[in-house]
Amino acid sequence: EGYFLIVWDIIEFCKRNGILVQGRGSAANSAVCYSLGITAVDPVGMELLFERFLSEERGEWPDIDLDLPSGDQRERAIQYVYERYGKLGAAMTANVITYRGRSAAREVGKVLGFDDVTLARLSGLVHTWEWKDPKDTTERQFKDAGLDLHDRRIRKFFQLYLAVQDLPRHLGQHSGGMVICQGQLNSVVPLEPAAMPGRVVVQWDKEDCADLGIIKVDLLGLGMMAVIEETIQIIRDDYREEVDIAHLPPDDGAVYAALQQADTIGMFQIESRAQMSCLPRLRPQKFYDIVVQVAIIRPGPIVGNMVNPYLERRLGRAPVKYAHPALEPVLRRTLGVPLFQEQLLKMAMICANFTGGEAEELRRAMGFKRSEQRMKDIEVKLRRGMAKKGIVGRTQDEIVEQIASFALYGFPESHAASFALLAYASAYLKCHYLAAFTAATLNNQPMGFYQPFTIIKDAQRHGLKVLPVDVTRSNWECTLESSAQGAVDSGQKDRCQVSDVRCQNESSDVRVPTDRRPLTTDHCLRLGLLCVKGLREEAGRSIVQARSEKPFMSLDDLHRRVPELRKDELRKLAAVGALNFIQESQVSSPKSQVKTKPKPTWDLRPGTWDAAIIHRRDALWQVERVAREAGPLYEKLEESGGSPLQPMTLNERLSADLRGTGITIGRHPMAHQRAWLDTMRVARAGDLKSMRNGQRVKVAGWVIVRQRPGTAKGFVFLSVEDETGIANIIVTPQLFEKYRIELVNYPFLLIEGALQHLDNVVSVKAKRVEPLQMKIESPGSHDFH
């Protein structure tokens, strides 16, 4: 019972200090964990299997994972453990970092003296796709890129790169594993101070610690926990409402409508391309459906060919059947298809009279560290037990095949249930508090499947107005402003575009599909200074502190009162338009006359901004003036009334936004190309749902995600975004070979192919790929290789 109380103590510390915490993993199978408040899933009500958590045969401590908000809140919990047990009574476990992939390429290249450009080119050739095509060798990648393997240094690089793969590089920290003991931990395992202040690390990894029977607790940082915690605080501050995620309405209609439409960008565990392709077919209607949804898009169900049989049965197109009648109680909730590890354990217990411990041993034998002999022995035992119960022949083979193919990657039902709680909470917060949820998501980047650019555009399509980074209004974090408040005392309302002179509201030029569920809000989202790339947090928070004492009257005033701001940071702020809204008083020198620019007036109609506002090049000009070094050469220099530079063009502002923040809150880059794309008969992503299955279509956009899963037999999947949404692209292995360079290296693509529109799931099977030469910065992509 001591182990449970150790974990309970950490949970109680988090509750006392307002830190969101949730136990997950196999611990959710334990009624004791549920009773102590360690987990939030009722194992009795969900009929979970206790032996997945603990059994006599395991002979080791149970494993309890605690999810905590990533960042400072998790660190508070870690420091509490150090304080509670002493610096010699607790430590983080180690993690052996090895040479792999692109990092190995860069390390070897540095040793051989390659310049930065060549290093980037060499490391860019190294693709670590999950799927390994036998023809996709490193040697071939080099040849395709035009590198001569007969060159002495290139050949040496190639040899060394292959030789160092998986060799140890250094000792790092495990993401969250902590070991705890009574007394002197250093009498059992060597300790060393971590690079992070206040931490101590053991020199063994978690497997070594487990072998010695040392108590281990995983304190894992989860980005979505931080998002949920911050969203609740924003709701408390800006909406004056209290939200308790432990008592959310269990059958919220808006949540299930969003899930059924695969409208899930930003939602935990259900936002990926594969999840979005499954959601319209599964059509969740209750919480257990979300548990299934979380678990079904995993290697286990996919490798075991469980996904389509389950969906076909759910849609009523295939009968529900069981490999043996005795399995009906185990598989009834999943329509006769095993989806969870616990089901496999129960199958062995029912069909072969395995004890709970023996069933867990079966799972481990077929786990990640497979031993062929161990697997063979356990299979013989399994078949012998089944034969004693009269299960033989084809039925026996089918059950054994299900267990063997699934055990390696199967997802625990308890784990899925814990994740489903967070998935539902994130969906509820997005549906009902869009502005707060979006702000919290941006404040906790990087996380999730999508870049901030996509999160912003999705929120705008749902009706959220987004206000630009502005040193006169922005805090360090993204915050909310009321829609009625506008943005400045001069009466400006809905100043929601990063612009210099004129621009249109995103919603005015985007054709939103009629079946999209609008999410309205009474709040605008103000982008925070953290969105500006290269701006240090110290400098950003100093701006906010100085502004709280007195508004900035001019750029000179900002520069004088925030000495922490470097010149390069001022340039970055100017380039993204963050200095545009200072009430600029131009002070040339003590002898010169002060020239005050008139206070801007605002025409609130879309696209008719008053040109009295300073533009970005004007701001850049002023930065060079105020940040220059004082000296006799400049004392007699007369100041002109303003900069001689012309305002940035639309494309220049767009590029500056993407280069400086990775975000644009004006029109989507593809919207600027729409007139030309219309002449090419290129369809909008949002219009694909209205087209018929099999129709030949063209789509174009920015590639936001690339995937080549190990379970997809060489197929590549792209998510391509335009101003109306995301189009999913399927690329066959043959087509990938033909268009490898374009698909991997170009951020904007034009794709032609056949529309696949079945069961409300829409995708394009590519036939031809063409790069789009767009003269703007790419916001980047998440490539899950």
DSSP letters along 294-321, please?
A: HHHSSHHHHHTT-HHHHHHHHTTSS---
Q: Mark whether 196 and 269 lie in a shared domain.
A: no
Is the pLDDT confidence value at 638 over 80? no
Is residue 609 predicted with pLDDT exceeding 50?
no
Q: How large a percentage of the chain has pLDDT more than 90?
A: 38
Spell out the residues 6+ positions from residue 601 whose beta carbon is closer than 8 angstroms to its own: 490, 610, 612
Q: What is the mean pLDDT of residues 499-517?
A: 38
Cα 479 to chain centroid distance, Å, stands at 20
Assess whether 386 and 514 both reside in one domain: no
Predicted pLDDT at 139 = 67
Verify that 730 and 656 share a domain, yes or no.
Answer: no
Q: What DSSP state is assigned to residue 482?
A: E
* pLDDT tens string 286-321: 999 999 999 898 776 776 678 889 999 999 999 999
The average pLDDT across 84-109 equals 84
The pLDDT of residue 683 is 94
With 60 as the cut, is the pLDDT of residue 128 above it? Answer: no
For 523-558, the pLDDT digits (tens) are 999 999 999 999 999 999 999 999 999 999 888 889
Asked whether residue 23 is domain-assigned, the answer is yes
- At position 696, the amino acid (one-letter code) is R
Position 460 in a domain:
yes
What confidence score (pLDDT) does residue 300 get? 66
Q: What average pLDDT score do residues 144-148 get?
A: 63
Q: Which of 130, 150, 166 is the last residue of a domain?
A: 166
Cα Dmax for the chain: 104
Q: Residue 19 domain-assigned?
A: yes
End-to-end Cα separation, the chain, in angstroms: 43
Q: Do 279 and 367 reside in the same domain of the chain?
A: yes
Higher pLDDT, 87 or 567: 567
Residue 599 has pLDDT above 50, yes or no: no
- Cα gap 76→80, rounded to integer Å: 6
Confidence check: pLDDT of 440 > 90: yes
Residues 190 and 87 in one domain: yes
At 507 the pLDDT is 38
Confidence band, pLDDT 50/70/90 cuts, at residue 265: very high
Q: E strands along 581-652, which residues?
A: 585-586, 595-596
- The mean predicted confidence, pLDDT, of the chain is 81
User: Looking at the domain assignment, is residue 746 inside a domain?
Assistant: yes
Q: How many residues does the chain have?
A: 785
Is residue 50 located within the same domain as residue 92? yes
DSSP annotation string for 379-424: HHHHHHHHHHTT--HHHHHHHHHHHHHHHTTPBPHHHHHHHHHHHH
Domain coverage including residue 129: 100-166
Using one digit for the tens of pLDDT, what is the confidence trace for 466-498? 999 999 999 999 999 987 654 443 333 333 333
Q: Are residues 650 and 506 in the same domain?
A: yes
Model pLDDT, residue 487:
41
Tell me if 441 is assigned to some domain.
no
Residue 335, in any domain of the structure: yes
Query: What's the CATH code of the domain at 697?
Result: 2.40.50.140
Same domain? 340 vs 260: yes
What digits encode the pLDDT tens for the residues 247-256?
A: 899 899 999 9
Q: Which residue has the higher pLDDT, 147 or 676?
A: 676
State residue 592's pLDDT score: 35
pLDDT at site 1: 61
Tokens of 351: 């069909």
Q: Which of 61-75, 106-120, 654-668, 673-687 has the lowest mean pLDDT?
A: 106-120
Q: Is the pLDDT of residue 436 over 60?
A: yes
Query: CA angle 676-681-685, nearest 5°?
Result: 95
Residues 479 and 606 in one domain: yes
